[in-house]
Structure formats: C-alpha cells, structure tokens
A and B are shown apart, each in its own frame.
Chain A
Amino acid sequence: MTPRQLQAHILTGALSASCAPHVHDAAAPKIGGKAARVKDQAIADILNAAGTLTQPASRMIGSADVVAALGQDAGADLLDAMEALGAAGNKRARQALRLLAANAMDAGGAFYAALIAALQTAAKIDAAAASALSALGSQPVHITAAQVSIALRGPWGD
C-alpha cells in the first residue's frame, strides 16, 4: 500500500470519521514527534481493529476453492459458464480452467484479478461473488504509526 493510498483510506475511506479526531496533517499546527506518534498510533489501531485493509497475497487455488467461496451451486454455475466461454473460443477462460484444474491459479496475481473483472463485466458473477473470489487472494494489512505519519505528513514519494 502506498502512502497516498493509505492517506485516502484515512481521510476519505469508510473509517475516516473515526480517524478524523486523530488526524494531524502537515497543515495542522506543529506538535512534537512524541505527541504526533500518539495520534498516529490511534489511527493505526482503528484501521487494524477494523481489519478492512487488505493487500494481494500469492496463494495457489483450484476449482474446489472457487466452489467453497461461492457455494456449491453458484460455484458450479460459474465453472460451467467458464467452460461454455472456453468452448466459444475465449482463451482466457480456457487458460483459467486449466490453472484451476491444476490448483495453480495464483489468487493474488494479475491474471486472476483480470479474470474476475472480466467475469463481472460479462455478468457471469455479481459484485458479491467478485468480492468473495477476490478475498481468496487477499490478506489483512497491519498498519503502523510510522506508516500513518508518512501518509498524513509525507514525503509520499510522488
């Protein structure tokens, strides 16, 4: 997660209201490092307690993982839909099925992310299913006070 991404989470994300009382950005009056760390740690604690910040994590999955994530019927329907797409000439669907059959689909990889996006665009899965599939390749991010300090006050490395 980049400092700018974390900044966006803190200032405009779902937890921004909880974080707001502790935000001390560069425009605020100067306080010492120790006082700033207390505020930064409070924000880190809020974000970590919620557990909603995630990052991609490499994890090899197969068809069974897809079924487990979506449920028996929805999972089976999706695999059938992908087989139909593959039979109609969709190379990405055919490749995805090969990887899933071999338990070699990296759920944290770019190919998997693009596959989920394409399936959602083609209305083969809805947003909830896309989220469930994405979660297979995600892990929680632990935020520190040091990261919060840079996110709020820079340098952001832009």
Chain B
Amino acid sequence: MAVTRAEVSINMGSGTAELTISDANWHLSDAFAFAAGDWQCALQLWSDNQGTPASGDTVEWRLLASLGSVDGSAGDDYVNVDNGQFLDLHDTYNNDDGNGVVMSVRDGIRSTPEYYKLAVKAVNAATRNVKVRALGQALQGAIA
C-alpha cells in the first residue's frame, strides 16, 4: 500500500472544532486517536487573540495521553494536565502571524497511546478572549 496522508479531526470540547477561551483555566479537547499503524503523526495548533495582544498574552498547549483505564474506574484515565507533554507556547504579542494569530506544528507524535486529549490554557483570556483550534495528521501505509 502506498503511503497516504490522513487527517485526524480534533474537537475542542463539546464536539465543536473551535473553542473560545475566556478564563485562565485549562481546557480539554474531546478525545482523539491515531490509528495503530499510523506514523509520522503531527498536530497543528492554532490560536487567535480576539483583541490587540499585550505582553503576556500566551497560549500553552499540552498533550494528555491515555492507554485506557488504569485506576479501575469506568472510563479512560488521562495523564494529569500538570504531567502532560508540553507541546508549544504561543506568544500572540511577540510572535503573531499578522493579526494575533499564531500557528505551530508539532511533529513526531506517537500513535501508540489509545487516546489523546489536548489541554490548552490562555492566561490573559479573561482580559482578551482567545479562539483555538487543532488538527491532526498522520502518514499511513508502507514505503515501497
């Protein structure tokens, strides 16, 4: 099978692709997964400051993995946000893409965890809301 590129949709909570953050709390995406045979998995992370940015208007992204239920309770158990894998810190004041939008790609995500969730936090979102989105991608198939 030739190598193909597969997109992985990521909803940022409640089944919606876009989340508007208005507080300084961590927010979790819905669960998403890469297929077991996927390789070269990557995530694209997008942050859009809804106001003119000021110093400190950052958006932090972390990756929380789950291999299933580990504590014996119902449902899958995810790594705590504090222990999540740091992905990126978007600085919408110092590093914007023209209008307070910052995008980054994090490559080399493993496909072995059964599920993932993204955790995102915007420390100044109570002053200026931030919209966030994410998208996953993986390569599938074998190199001939």
Contact = CB atoms under 8 A, between A and B. Distances in A.
Contact of B93 (A26, A33, A152, A155): A33
The DSSP consensus for interface residues of chain B is loop
A137 to B, nearest CB: 29
B82 to A, nearest CB: 24
Interface string A18-58: 00000010101111111011000000000000000000000
15 contacts: A28-B52, A30-B99, A30-B100, A32-B52, A33-B53, A33-B95, A33-B96, A33-B100, A36-B54, A37-B94, A146-B55, A146-B56, A150-B56, A153-B54, A155-B127
Contacts of A155: 56, 124, 126-127
Nearest to B91: A33
Given A37-B93, A153-B128, A155-B126, A32 B53 contact: yes
Interface residues of B, number: 24
A86 interface: no
Interface string A62-82: 000000000000000000000
A33 B124 contact: no
A38 to B, nearest CB: 12
Given A32-B96, A32-B97, A32-B100, A154 B127 contact: yes
B50 interface: yes
A114 B101 CA distance: 50
3 residue pairs, one from A and one from B, having the closest CB atoms:
A146-B55, A149-B54, A33-B53
